[in-house]
């Protein structure tokens, strides 16, 4: 078990080494007098690395990370709360669900990026326009999952709880609620990811801080090194968040068979 995971890690590192190696050779070693990956378009791994280090050493990055993280968390919390509430409401009131069905589908089908300018107009260039964009993404993921979760409570579990003497309130607390939450948590990776997408895309389209802003700014002056450094930090940031989500998920879905949670 231990040896197998070490081997896996070694192979994963190997992929990174090979990719960076190709990038390095292509950008700094001329082949037949030509650079395979010209520095102007692709920068070099060393430059990108130095830029990342500089961003962290100068402390400039922390402000941007903090802004992006705040936006992501706010979008996630508000979007989830709304999704849970409306999902529950619709699942328990089929008439309401039927009335709003076409509108929900319509809004969900809309590419969220087109909403960004409107949110900026309404909420300004600060964090709230980014939060709003994230919320429109997170809301629907959570909403559909909770709706499904409440609808698909096992009828046997429900009958059993009723025979046990549960009141409607107790059914809500002990049956509907955990079932809906379990569906929501199983989409945690997707919804947190969407919250981040909302934040970064919002920043990219217009802001004065955040990772998206950093990348956009570098792009504006053809600073490819800056773009790559921003992308690298963004990916690392996503990995850390994803890892945290996995920890939370494992804690919350401990009652689920392992296969459904994902094995590591």
Q: What dihedral angle (degrees, nearest 10) is formed by the CA atoms of 8, 9, 11, 13?
A: 170
Q: Distance between CA 63 and CA 58 in Å, rounded?
A: 11
DSSP string of 201-255? Answer: HHHHHS-SSSHHHHHHHHHHTT-HHHHHHHHHHHHHHHHHHHHHHHHHHHHHTTT
Which of the residues 163 through 182 are near another protein (CB under 8 A)?
Answer: 163-167, 170, 174-175, 178-179, 182
Query: How far apart are alpha carbons 109 and 152 in whole angstroms?
Result: 24
Could you give the CA distance from residue 201 to residue 191 in angstroms, rounded to a whole number?
15
Cα separations (Å) of 206 from 28, 65, 164? 34, 16, 56
Taking the least distance from each CB to another protein, the nearer of 92 and 162 is 162
Q: Which of 170, 216, 173 is nearest to 68 (CA)?
A: 216
* Residue 70 CB, nearest approach to another protein (Å): 32
Q: Report in angstroms how near the CB of residue 98 gets to another protein at its nearest.
A: 19
Residues 6+ apart with CB under 8 A from 162: 171
When the beta carbons of 24 and 174 are compared against another protein, the nearer one is: 174
Subset of residues 126 to 165 that bind another protein, contact rule: CB under 8 A:
154, 156-157, 159-165
Count of positions on this chain that bind another protein (CB under 8 A): 22
Decide whether 54 or 173 has the Cβ nearer to another protein: 173
Closest distance between another protein and the C-beta of residue 149, in Å? 11
Of 111 and 165, which CB lies nearer to another protein in the complex structure?
Answer: 165
Shortest distance in whole angstroms from residue 170 CB to another protein: 5
Contact present, 30 and 46 (Cβ < 8 Å): no
Nearer to another protein, 113 or 158 (CB): 158
Q: What's the min distance (Å) between Cβ of 256 and another protein?
A: 7
Per-residue binding string, another protein, 179-198, x by CB under 8 A, is x--x----------------
In whole angstroms, how close is the CB of 182 to another protein at the nearest point?
Answer: 6
Q: Which residues bind another protein (CB under 8 A)?
A: 154, 156-157, 159-167, 170, 174-175, 178-179, 182, 254-257
């Amino acid at each position: 078990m231990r040896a197998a995971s070490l081997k896996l890690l070694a192979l994963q590192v190997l992929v990174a080494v090979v990719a960076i190696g190709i990038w390095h050779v292509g950008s700094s070693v001329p082949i037949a007098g030509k650079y395979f990956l010209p520095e102007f378009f692709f920068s070099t791994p060393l430059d990108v690395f130095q830029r990342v280090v500089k961003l962290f050493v100068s402390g400039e990055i922390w402000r941007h990370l903090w802004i992006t993280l705040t936006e992501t968390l706010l979008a996630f919390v508000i979007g989830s709360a709304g999704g849970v509430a409306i999902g529950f409401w619709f699942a328990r009131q089929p008439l309401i669900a039927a009335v709003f069905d076409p509108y929900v589908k319509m809004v969900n089908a809309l590419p969220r990026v087109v909403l960004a300018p409107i949110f900026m107009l309404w909420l300004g260039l600060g964090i709230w326009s980014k939060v709003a964009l994230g919320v429109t993404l997170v809301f629907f993921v959570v909403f559909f999952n909770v709706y499904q979760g409440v609808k698909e409570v096992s009828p046997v579990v429900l009958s059993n709880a009723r025979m046990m003497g549960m009141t409607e309130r107790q059914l809500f607390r002990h049956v509907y609620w955990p079932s809906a939450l379990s569906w929501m948590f199983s989409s945690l990776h997707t919804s947190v990811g969407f919250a981040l997408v909302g934040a970064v895309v919002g920043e990219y389209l217009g802001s004065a801080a955040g990772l998206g802003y950093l990348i956009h700014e570098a792009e504006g002056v053809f600073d490819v090194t800056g773009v790559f450094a921003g992308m690298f930090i963004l990916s690392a940031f996503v990995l850390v968040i994803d890892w945290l989500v996995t920890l939370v998920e494992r804690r919350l879905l401990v009652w689920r068979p392992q296969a459904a949670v994902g094995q590591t």
